[in-house]
């Protein structure tokens, strides 16, 4: 089923603003940070994904000062990209209500209905990702060959799970907040297999007590990513429950 035939994708995009450029350190990439979309970062245009060329920005402090520090990883070995690297006219969560009047509520995507709280946002992003974001992500991964993926935010986590059909041996019911569990997965993106951990999006973690708790519980798991990536573990590991 073609998404384009169901929704005029252009009406939700600010095409004239272009897209942020890939953030790439000066060394061979070890890790890829995957954000949601640039609209969620700032209403202004930013030249680089996640605004990571801005050393004083919240995301730079979070990624380089907290996550990379935990991994003992130089920013020179970091890549950053977005699930959908396009500006929307509004943040996706504010556009999701438009889907009530759009004629694409088909059985093909009915599996997405079970998401708690933000399932409409996930559906919205899922369609854009499948239309062009997936191909772009697979190109980035194929070209730069990172071995670790850290996705930022619950919507990104859920879209990736659906798009790449992760194994069904995940023990937590789909309608629960499995995002909050300290699980590490392997995910195959194109022909490349990466070790994957989902983390909250910053600065949400500082504002929201729930995500702050999730982040504090997941940070110790971050330190194990290098070892797990090197040993090529082919199964999910970590706590089976939240």
The dihedral over CA atoms of 110, 114, 116, 119, expressed in degrees to the nearest 10, equals -10
The dihedral over CA atoms of 151, 200, 184, 120, expressed in degrees to the nearest 10, equals -70
> Would you state the pLDDT for residue 40?
73
The yes or no reply on domain 3-238 and CATH 3.40.50.970 is no
Q: Crossing angle, helix 119-128 and helix 154-163, to 10 degrees? A: 60
From 48, 71, 101, 89, select the one nearest 195 (Cα to Cα). 71
> Would you state the pLDDT for residue 223?
82
Q: Are strands 31-35 and 148-152 parallel, antiparallel or unpaired?
A: parallel
> Would you state the pLDDT for residue 204?
55
From 183, 175, 189, select the one nearest 112 (Cα to Cα). 175
pLDDT in tens, the chain (242 residues): 333 334 567 788 888 888 999 999 988 889 999 999 998 766 677 899 999 999 998 899 999 998 999 888 999 999 999 999 999 888 887 777 665 534 443 444 444 444 444 667 787 888 889 988 999 999 999 999 999 999 998 889 888 988 886 654 444 334 334 566 667 888 899 999 999 988 888 755 456 676 777 777 787 888 888 777 776 544 444 433 33
> Would you state the pLDDT for residue 155?
86
H or E element, residue 171: none
Q: Where are the domains of the chain?
A: 3-238
Which segments within the chain are labelled E, that is strand?
23-24, 31-35, 78-82, 148-152, 183-189, 192-199, 237-238
> Would you state the pLDDT for residue 143?
96
């Amino acid at each position: 089923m073609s998404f384009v035939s169901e929704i005029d994708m252009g009406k939700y995009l600010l095409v004239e603003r272009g897209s942020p450029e890939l953030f790439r350190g000066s060394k061979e990439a070890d890790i890829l940070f995957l954000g949601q979309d640039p609209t969620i970062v700032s209403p202004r245009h930013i030249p680089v994904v996640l605004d990571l060329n801005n050393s004083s920005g919240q995301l730079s402090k979070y990624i380089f000062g907290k996550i990379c520090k935990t991994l003992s990883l130089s920013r020179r070995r970091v890549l950053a990209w977005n699930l959908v690297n396009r500006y929307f006219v509004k943040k996706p969560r504010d556009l999701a209500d438009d889907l009530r009047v759009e004629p694409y509520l088909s059985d093909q995507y009915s599996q997405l209905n079970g998401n708690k709280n933000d399932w409409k946002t996930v559906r919205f992003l899922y369609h854009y990702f499948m239309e062009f974001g997936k191909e772009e992500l697979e190109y980035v991964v194929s070209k730069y060959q990172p071995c670790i993926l850290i996705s930022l935010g619950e919507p990104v986590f859920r879209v990736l799970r659906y798009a790449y059909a992760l194994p069904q041996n995940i023990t937590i019911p789909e309608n629960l907040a499995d995002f909050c569990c300290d699980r590490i997965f392997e995910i195959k993106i194109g022909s490349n297999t990466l070790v994957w951990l989902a983390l909250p999006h910053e600065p949400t973690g500082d504002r929201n007590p729930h995500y702050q708790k999730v982040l504090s519980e997941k940070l110790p798991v971050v330190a194990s990513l290098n070892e797990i990536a090197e040993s090529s573990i082919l199964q999910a590991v970590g706590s089976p429950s939240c």
